[in-house]
Amino acid sequence: MSDVVPARRGLFAKYIGGMITVVTLVLVVNRGIDVWVSYQDTRAALSRIQQEKAIAAAQGVEQYVSEIERQIGWTTHAQWAAGSIDQRYYDFNRLMRQVPDITELVDLDGNGRERLKVSRVAMNVIGSDADWSEDPRFKGILDKRVWFSPIYWRRESEPYMTMSLARAGRRSGATVAEVNLKLIVDVINAIKVGKAGYAYVVNRDGRLIAHPDISQVLRNTDMARLSHVQAALRARQGSRDEAPRATVGVNLANQNVLSAAASIPALDWLVFVELPLNEALQPLYASLIQTGLLLLFGIALAAGAAWVLARHMIVPIRVLSAGAARLGGGDLTHRIAVRSGDELETLGSSFNRMAEQLQESYANLEHKVEARTQELARSVDELTASGEILRLIAGTPEDLRPVFQSILQHGTRLCEANFSVLWTIHGDVFRLVALHNIPPALASHLDQDMQSGPDTAIGPAMHSLTPNQIEDTRMSPAYIAGDLLHRAFVDQGGVRSMLSVPMVHQGELIGLLSIFRHDVGRFADKHVNLMSTFADQAVIAVENSRLLRELRTRSEELSESLEYQTATSDVLKVISGSAFNLVPVLKTVAETAATLCCAAEAALFLREGDTYRWAASVDSSNPFLDAVREQHFLPGRDSLIGRIALEGKLMQIEDVLDDPEYGRKDLAQQGGVRTLLGVPLVREGIMTGVMVLTRHHVEAFTDKQVEVLRVFADQAVIAVENVRLFTEIQEKSRQLELASQHKSQFLANMSHELRTPLNAVLGYAELLIDGIYGELPDRARGVLERMQSNGQHLLGLINEVLDLSKIEAGQLKLTLDTYALSAIVQTVVAATESLASAKGLKLKAVVAANLPAGVGDERRLAQVLLNLVGNAIKFTDQGSVEIVAVARGPTFEIAVSDTGPGIAAEDQTRIFEEFQQIDNTSTRRKGGTGLGLAISRRIVAMHGGALIVESALGRGSTFRVVLPVKVDKQQEAA
């Protein structure tokens, strides 16, 4: 039983966790949406307010500028301009006193000439008549009433602006005022934005014009580096229609601010109003804190509620769990008490009912187990008995008595009988072979065989071949019929009931098993079955024993035949091992035959014409054997060999001393020879010899021995024949070799002899051509040249024949020395270039760099390569011939490829044979002896390499020479 798996996380924790999760989720979602909406609202409202404030600030600044403009305005009236210069001087001074922002005032006439200049920072000038006509301050008012200059900076820190006002009337002059904008600060400071908000003004480049912190202005701060300022400047340049919005940015103090901008179009300035974000979002934070508190409260409430609920659920479940654990642990008397009145209580009751039912089932099971255990014990008993019997069968297969004894003993005991007997059938009668616990009074009746009549007590079992029982012997037909043996069993042995089981093997009755009781009654089925099993086992034992006996006989026969076979194969081994030496083979045959057929000696005689002479025999110092060794046997009745020679068949003399015709009785007596056997050796119906075996006592050879001896005789014949054939072949091959050597020598001599006069012919021809003997007519010269070329060809043929015959006669010796493969290739290319170009072929040579130095016969290798390249050129009509030489590890590989007609697969071996070309027509057409490849192949082979062709019709050919880089000794040319 497995333990109750402990809960990984209790229900309690799950409840509380669940409740808290749900409440938190609801609150968070609810408040989240709330906060988000209110944030959006607040943002929008703030933005709007901020924007309005910016617009208001812009208006304030604009108003300030307008105020200055208005102050100066009255100097633009025409009548003022017409006044005296003193008057104007006075007025300017007054104006500057009234308006501290104005730093300098200039009066210009209609032509741009300076009439008066009053300044706080310079000398006042009257009537300087300086020309301002090209100054923007003058030009600016030509087409409009008021002109504002861009901001400029004095002393690099104070913002200034020039304001020109045109006088009424066309070209009637102007008043130019330099205005210090530092004083706008007051205007800016007056703008209140929240608690910590502020406003400032920048020009169109983002330069600060006014700021509550005047030092920033004096430092000429560039506000355009603040991203929101930059954005506002860009927006000003863009669409005017777009409603500017408040944005969040970072101010100079690195504070997050909510910023709004409004422009002053006339001056091209921007007024910014900024409020720290903290302050702006203050209401939003309050709302967030409220939400947090509400959340905490909600969670606490949920936890409380969950705790109460969970407790209510968990307690009965724990009771159920503990109860179920006890029931599971085997305590079925335990009952679960849950009084919750709900499904849990129903579950508790179900558990209780289940426990009751289990209790009942267990009680039933125990009864059944007890009954089964008893049966099992009996079965075990029976099996043990069976096992013991089988063990006995296996252990003593020959001796049946212990098996039968054990069967009776166990059968009697297990079937609750008193005694038992076992009969086996012998012809028509039954003989008792085992008994157990027989009452002494019966013993004298058991010596006799039992008849198996139908009226006997065992008759029914024997005839039906099935078990038969007699429940009350006194009432049985056999008893009533007066079967004597049965009456003895009943009357003297006290048998009142009996069971007979036949032992049947393959439908045949082979015995009978009977058990007896002293009381009347039926044998139970299980007893009948058990006895049937025992009867089967008895049959197995009998069969086993029979098979074993048979097996033993067979294996004895087999080992004998194996001995014969081994001997035969030994002889065959000797025959095949010494094919050229007859005597040891025949001696082995004789020795083996003698040993195997229990003969004293054995000897073999071979026929020579009409006589038979000793050839081999076993080692022996028998005078008989010594004598026959020297004799010639002729056909005749006086000797065994003579008789066999006459009749041609196997013969035996059982006792030589008793044979009237036998003529060597004294010799036989000396050697103690009595029985003689002779086996003819016959090949293709002709006798070639005789094998003779002797015995020193009179005992005929058995048929089996004769059979074996015939086999040996046949083997002797084979051996003789083998040796004869072998000798013949050896002689023939020796003659062949000699003939071949003679041929090669002849060829070598002949070619040399042919060359000498040919050289003379060629030499004379050349002298003639060279004009040594005087000038020749052209026709004669032509003929001579053809004579010379034919002679050269003939010389080539003779040289090749000479080479080949030298190779065949084993006279060609390689001169092994170091060589450079690249040099060989170069030589060959140089020699064949002209041939190739004459046929319009491309000749290419690719030699790998850094080839190792080779060791071999340079001249012969060059000859091979020359032959291959020459062939390639000869047989290729268009295209190219390519030589590729590379080294692969310890070998050189030289490939000669062409784009010629190719060689069919079936011709590829033929071309390497002597005097072979692809076909005779090509020989005639292309010339050559057809010896070149044969010679090349042999030369390569003598280097321990190989010459291979790869080709197909229409695909060109590649001849590949593969040879060791370093040849240390000349190989046989195959």
Partner 1 sequence: MSKRILVVEDTEDNRQIVRDLLTSVGYEMIEAVDGHEGVEVATRERPDLILMDIQLPVLDGYEATRRIKSNEATRHIPVIAVTSYALSGDEDKAHAAGCDGYLAKPFSPRQLLALVRARLG
Contacts with partner 1, residue ranges (CB under 8 A): 752, 755-760, 762-764, 766-767, 770, 772-773, 795, 813-815, 857, 859-860
Q: Closest Cα to residue 866, out of 782, 775, 803, 781? A: 803
- Whole-number minimum distance, CB 766 to partner 1, in Å? 5
Q: Closest Cα to residue 226, out of 261, 182, 187? A: 261
Query: Which of residues 526 and 859 has its CB atom nearest to partner 1 in the complex?
Result: 859
Beta carbons of 562 and 596 less than 8 angstroms apart: no
- Whole-number minimum distance, CB 786 to partner 1, in Å? 16
- Whole-number minimum distance, CB 789 to partner 1, in Å? 13
Beta carbons of 526 and 374 less than 8 angstroms apart: no
Query: Which of residues 170 and 969 has its CB atom nearest to partner 1 in the complex?
Result: 969
Query: Which of residues 758 and 962 has its CB atom nearest to partner 1 in the complex?
Result: 758
- Whole-number minimum distance, CB 793 to partner 1, in Å? 13
Return d(Cα 52, Cα 64) in angstroms, integer: 18
- Whole-number minimum distance, CB 950 to partner 1, in Å? 30
- Whole-number minimum distance, CB 859 to partner 1, in Å? 6
Return d(Cα 908, Cα 732) in angstroms, integer: 32
615-632 b/e (C-beta count within 10 Å ≥ 16 → b): bbbbebebebbebbeebe
- Whole-number minimum distance, CB 763 to partner 1, in Å? 4
Query: Which of residues 769 and 884 has its CB atom nearest to partner 1 in the complex?
Result: 769
- Whole-number minimum distance, CB 774 to partner 1, in Å? 10
CA-derived radius of gyration, the chain: 71
Beta carbons of 765 and 757 less than 8 angstroms apart: no
Beta carbons of 617 and 603 less than 8 angstroms apart: yes
Query: Which of residues 757 and 840 has its CB atom nearest to partner 1 in the complex?
Result: 757
- Whole-number minimum distance, CB 928 to partner 1, in Å? 19
- Whole-number minimum distance, CB 796 to partner 1, in Å? 11
Query: Which of residues 321 and 970 has its CB atom nearest to partner 1 in the complex?
Result: 970
Query: Which of residues 815 and 878 has its CB atom nearest to partner 1 in the complex?
Result: 815
Query: Which of residues 798 and 881 has its CB atom nearest to partner 1 in the complex?
Result: 798
- Residue 497: half-sphere exposure toward Cβ, Cα within 13 Å: 13
- Whole-number minimum distance, CB 809 to partner 1, in Å? 13
Return d(Cα 236, Cα 247) in angstroms, integer: 14
Where are the strands (E) in 618-705, listed by range? 632-633, 651-653, 675-683, 686-695
Query: Which of residues 98 and 756 has its CB atom nearest to partner 1 in the complex?
Result: 756
Return d(Cα 431, Cα 436) in angstroms, integer: 15
- Whole-number minimum distance, CB 952 to partner 1, in Å? 37
Beta carbons of 794 and 948 less than 8 angstroms apart: no
Query: Which of residues 629 and 813 has its CB atom nearest to partner 1 in the complex?
Result: 813
Residue 962, classified by CB atoms within 10 Å of its CB into exposed (0-12), middle (13-18) or buried (19+), is middle
- Whole-number minimum distance, CB 782 to partner 1, in Å? 19
Query: Which of residues 126 and 754 has its CB atom nearest to partner 1 in the complex?
Result: 754
- Whole-number minimum distance, CB 852 to partner 1, in Å? 22
Q: What is the 3-state secondary structure (H, E, C) of 350-383?
A: HHHHHHHHHHHHHHHHHHHHHHHHHHHHHHHHHH
Residue 972, classified by CB atoms within 10 Å of its CB into exposed (0-12), middle (13-18) or buried (19+), is exposed
CA 694 to chain centre: 73
Look at the block and give the residue holding tokens 């005779």: 920
- Whole-number minimum distance, CB 755 to partner 1, in Å? 6
Query: Which of residues 461 and 765 has its CB atom nearest to partner 1 in the complex?
Result: 765
Query: Which of residues 455 and 766 has its CB atom nearest to partner 1 in the complex?
Result: 766
Return d(Cα 82, Cα 74) in angstroms, integer: 13
Please report, in angstroms and rounded to a whole number, the separation of the first and last CA atoms in the chain. Answer: 87
Q: Closest Cα to residue 310, out of 680, 16, 675, 4? A: 16
Residues 6+ apart with CB under 8 A from 519: 496, 497
Beta carbons of 582 and 719 less than 8 angstroms apart: yes
Q: Closest Cα to residue 189, out of 178, 181, 200? A: 200
For CA atoms 821, 822, 827, 830, give the dihedral sign: positive
- Whole-number minimum distance, CB 810 to partner 1, in Å? 14
Query: Which of residues 87 and 759 has its CB atom nearest to partner 1 in the complex?
Result: 759
Phi, psi at residue 889, to the nearest 5°? 60, -125
Query: Which of residues 80 and 819 has its CB atom nearest to partner 1 in the complex?
Result: 819
For CA atoms 628, 634, 639, 644, give the dihedral sign: positive
- Whole-number minimum distance, CB 940 to partner 1, in Å? 16
Query: Which of residues 756 and 834 has its CB atom nearest to partner 1 in the complex?
Result: 756
Query: Which of residues 157 and 759 has its CB atom nearest to partner 1 in the complex?
Result: 759
- Residue 467: half-sphere exposure toward Cβ, Cα within 13 Å: 23
Written as one string, the DSSP assignment of 887-924 is EETTEEEEEEEE-SS---GGGTTGGGSTT--S-HHHHH
Q: What angle do CA 302, 306, 311 make, to 5 degrees?
A: 155
Written as one string, the DSSP assignment of 402-426 is HHHHHHHHHHHHHTT-SEEEEEEEE
